[in-house]
Amino acid sequence: MIRHALHRSTLPSASTLRTLQEFDYVIVGGGSAGCVLANRLSADTSNSVLLVETGPKDRGLFDSIRLAMPAMLTANLIDDRYNWNYMTEPQQHLNGRRLTWPRGRVLGGSSSINAMIYNRGHALDYDDWQQAGADGWSYADCLPYFKKAQTHSLSADEYRGGDGPLKVTRRLQRDQPLYQTFLDAAMQAGYPFTDDVNGYQQEGVGWLDHTIHNGQRCSASAAYLTSSVLTRENLTVVTGTFVNKVVFEGKKAVGIEVEPFKADGHRPKQIRAKEVILSSGAINSPQLLMVSGVGDADQLKKTGIPVVHHLPAVGQNMEEHLGVYLHVACKKPVTLYHATPHFPHKMAWMGVQWLVSKTGMGTSSHIEVGGFLRSAPTKCHPDLKWQFLPGASDENRQLLRDGHAMMLHCTPLRATSRGYIKLRSANPRDRPVIQPNYLATETDRVDMRNGVRLTREVLKQRAFDEYRGEAISPTDEVQSDAEIDAWIRQYASTDYHPSSTNRMGKETDLDSVVDAQTRVHGLEGLRVVDASIMPNNVSGNLNAPTIMLAEKAADIILGNPALPRSDAPVYVAKNWETRQR
């Protein structure tokens, strides 16, 4: 063990680190994966571990309470105190619009600002990982790590965990009538009900799981960096610390160069490590590799960066989920309208109730029901996601609309368009080029259009008759393929799920960056562990898979035997080749 002297009960900044201070493991990025790794690697007291986060800590600040309150999620998505607030390049197939990409810049990363929906995707997604060259990452291999991470409010079973750090809750909120109305409408349209979208049968509609515990957000930081973990003598967590680059000696990573996020004239320091692990996410991890000299050699030379290792797949093959919000007026006063800024006294009461007792409307993201469906015959497992909200936001999701309304969010889950991350300059503080290439293929445009039609069909079922008012967006006048496509181009937005910019695969696969052990091809002492290494995006939300991935990677890094493979069965619809539902 390499020993060092900092006390772990505080969260220091870069200024407290000593030049050439040494650690066994340096983890860059205190997000969903980094928090898991910091906990698991430091559980062995013979390892010294440094976790470096650019953003602030997620608790103890005067306004950080908003991170813990589930109902404040939209405020966190637009607040640059805890958020990188990235912007994409203009999107050719979205009327040239630039989309905002919120990404967490705070301890806990995006798990501290997301909608807290816990969804794993489909089992076949992970079997696809295995087939793509990620040996040992099939569903049978990954399910035990999902369970290891989790404590579910409904207790453990073949699919759910019962003693993991991450607290997951299913609310079954019967006092809000629109939730059951949505489920009834979807079943009237012919879709099955599933009692657990993370269990045997993802396909269908049902109640969603959330990373919420006792009325508060359970981020990766809250779950894995508890006070007892932070007081470990062999773990140092620093916040407000910017990593300029990975330091190499030849082809071996030997440390990182850091400085305070607000540099203020501070000179950079080098921190030494036996092993450097990048866990900065699908945008920042490839950017950090490239500014450190790892990437496409021609591009690095054009940017003026000395080439350490030619690895052209860095930043390429990006996948993302694009979605649309369908808004319908509600004829009865049963929506979230009275809990919006239009009624500040009621918002204030919601806040007081949550602060005092962790009860009331502040304890939920209010996205309690949803579904996963196949958008067409020949789709063997769900490729479309629904999330229902008994309220409605504007196109920027900053303010709720004036008047009672409801919305159903529709997201195709297996886009064929591929994007990339590139450098703007050699300066690590310059924001990278983010080009998701949304709707670049005809397949994606057809899938999105089909999704809109299927979503409208559910909203028109008789279960909604007593509530359904006029269609707000799209209006009923939008009917033809061309009209729907035009509406999509104007209103589609990110579902916050970028992945695969440092894909996992065999070293012979030129589209991959790391191997199945998470080691960067052709280099020593350097790994990547975050959503960027997913061989393909999953058919669901990304937070749960990222935490699972880090749990499994921790065992790999420590040299522990993998958990025994699961033989839990998985549902696949009969006649999926010929039937959509």
Annotated binding-site positions for FAD: 106, 243
Distances (CA, A) of 44 to 30, 407, 555: 19, 48, 12
Whether the link from the prior residue into 312 is cis, omega within 30° of 0, is: no
Q: Look at residue 233 and give its three-state secondary structure.
A: coil
What is the distance between the alpha carbons of residues 532 and 350, in angstroms, rounded to a whole number? 37
Q: Nearest Cα to 191, choosing from 208, 173, 206, 174?
A: 206
| Distance, C-alpha 74 to centroid of its chain | 15
Residue type, 165: P
DSSP letter at 96?
T
Give one word for 436, left, alpha or beta, with left for phi > 0 and alpha for psi -120 to 50: alpha
Q: How far, in Å, CA of 190 to CA of 580, rounded?
A: 10
Distance (Å, whole) CA 216 – CA 500: 30
Out of 321, 366, 497, 521, the active site residue is: 497
**Angle (nearest 5°) at CA 476 between 472 and 482:** 110
* Angle of the 442-459 helix axis to the 481-491 helix axis, nearest 10: 100
Residue numbers in the known binding site are 106, 243
Contact by Cβ (8 Å): 53, 29: yes
Q: How far apart are CA 550 and CA 538, in angstroms?
A: 16
Q: Using an 8 Å Cβ cutoff, are 413 and 384 in contact?
A: yes
Which residues lie across from 277 on neighbouring strands?
27, 527
The closest alpha carbon to 540, from 176, 197, 266, 56, belongs to 197
**Which residues in 392-539 belong to E strands, given as ranges?**
405-412, 420-422, 433-435, 468-473, 493-494, 526-528
Concerning whether 497 is annotated as a catalytic residue, the answer is yes
Please name every residue paired with 248 in a beta bridge, in sequence order, or none if there are none: 253
* Token representation of residue 118: 């816990």
318 secondary structure, DSSP code: B
Tokens in use for 198? 């993370």
Coil, helix or strand at residue 207? strand
| Separation between Cα atoms, residue 517 and residue 525, nearest integer Å | 12
DSSP state of 461: S
The Cα 111–Cα 530 span in angstroms is 13
**Residues with catalytic annotation?**
497
